Amino acid sequence: MKHNPDVLLISANEQKQILSNHLQAAIEIVETALKKKINGEVLLPDKISVVFDEATQNRINCMPGALLKDKLYGVKWVAVFPENPKDGYRNVTGTIILSELEHGHTLSVMDAGYLTEIRTAAVGATAAKYLSKADSESIGFIGAGQQARRHLDVVKIVRPNIKTCYVSSLPDGSTDRFIEEESVLHPDMTFINCRDDYESAVKKADIIVTAISGQEPILKAKWIKDGAFYIHVAGWEDEYAVPEKASKIVCDDWENVKHRTQTISRMFKEGLLKDEEVYGNLDEIVTGNKPARENDEEFIYFCSVGLAFIDVSFAKYVYEKAVETGAGTWFQF
C-alpha cells in the first residue's frame, strides 16, 4: 500500500508574504472564480453556520466548495467572534483544508484568517471595479480594523484615483492606528480622522465600506450621496432605508445572502424585499450578462456573505505559490 503524499502546512505569515506582494492577483482570482461559476465549473454546497450567541453573532461556519476542472475540493472551517478584539484576539480565525480529486488526498492545511480578510476585500474591490464610478476619488470607512485596511489596499488597485480616505470607528484609538499604518502604504493619499463621527466618514465618499461586525443599523441613508457605491461587509450594519435607496442591489450570490443575517436578508425574511428587487449577482456583472453601473447618479449597494469556491481559489493560488517558492512545512498524517 502506498503512503499518502505529504501535506503542506501554510501559516498566516507565509500567506501574507505570498499575497501582499500580489494584490493585483487577488482581483484576478475573484474574477476567474466567478467566471467558472457562471460556466458551471464549480460546486457550492450549502454553507453550515451555527450561531452560538444571537446578540453577538458568535458563530462557526463550515464552507465547502469545489473547482471541478481544477480537480480541487476544499473546506473552510472559520470562526467569527465579533467581540474578540475587546479581549485582544482576532475576530476571524480558522483553517482551510485543500484536497485533490483524483485520489482524494489532502494537499494542504492552511490558516483561514488572513486568507478570509484578503478574499473578502478582493470580492468587494472586484465589485467596486464594475459598480463604483470610474473616477471615484474618495473612500469612507465605518470601522478601522484589519478588514478596513485590506479593503483600502485592494480597492486602491481598481480605483487608483482615490486620493482621500475618511475613517471612523469606536472611540478606542483604532482610527489613529489605521491612519498611522495606511498613510505609510499610501503616501499619495490624504487621511481624514473622523473618529466616531460616522456621518462625516460617509457623506462625501464615492465608495463606502462598513468594515465592522455590527448588529445594529449604524449607516443612515440620508448620509449617502448620489452616485456612491456601498460595500456591505458583515451583518446588520445599515438601516433598511439604505438598500431601499439603491438603484441596484447586487450580491455575491443572492440565494446564499437571503438565508443569512445581513440587512437585506432580514428585509427578505420580513417580506420587505422580493427576489425580483435584487438586480443580480456579481458573476453576472463580471461576465457582462448584466450591465454594471449605467450612470454616475446611481447609488449601488453590494452585499456579500462569502462563497467557498472563491476561498478554494485563493487556497489554490497560495498552495501553488508556496510549492513554487519553498514556503510552508511538509508533514505526514
Q: Cβ-count burial of 208 within 10 angstroms (0-12 exposed, 13-18 middle, 19+ buried)?
A: buried
Same structural domain, 325 and 243:
no
Task: Give the global pTM.
Answer: 0.93
Instruction: Determine the Cα–Cα distance for residues 216 and 195; give it in Å rounded to an integer.
Output: 18
DSSP string, 86-102: GGTS-SEEEEEEEEETT
Neighbours of 5 (CB within 10 A): 13
Q: Are residues 279 and 317 in the same domain?
A: no
Secondary structure class of 74 (helix, strand, coil): strand
Residues 197 and 52 in one domain: no
In the predicted model, residues of the chain with pLDDT beneath 50 are none
In a domain, 125, yes or no: no
Task: Copy the grid coordinates of residue 102.
Answer: 483524483
Task: Determine the structural domain holding residue 235 and report its residue range.
Answer: 132-303
Say whether both 22 and 64 belong to one domain.
yes
**Residue 283 maps to a domain:** yes
The answer to whether position 122 is within a domain reads no
Do residues 59 and 137 both lie within one domain?
A: no
Report the pLDDT value the prediction gives residue 158, as an integer from 0 to 100. 96
Whether residues 44 and 101 share a domain: the answer is yes
Angle between helices 146-158 and 23-38 (to 10 degrees): 80
Q: What is the mean pLDDT of the chain?
A: 93
Q: Quick count: other Cβ atoms within 10 Å of Cβ 221?
A: 16
Per the structure, how many domains does the chain have?
Answer: 2
C-alpha of 83 from chain center: 19
User: Side chain identity at 3, as an amino acid letter?
Assistant: H
Question: 277 and 136: one domain?
Answer: yes
In a domain, 123, yes or no: no
Q: And the C-alpha cell for 27?
A: 482581483
pLDDT in tens, 270-283: 999 999 999 999 99
Mark whether 210 and 80 lie in a shared domain.
no
**Does residue 50 sit in the same domain as residue 16?**
yes
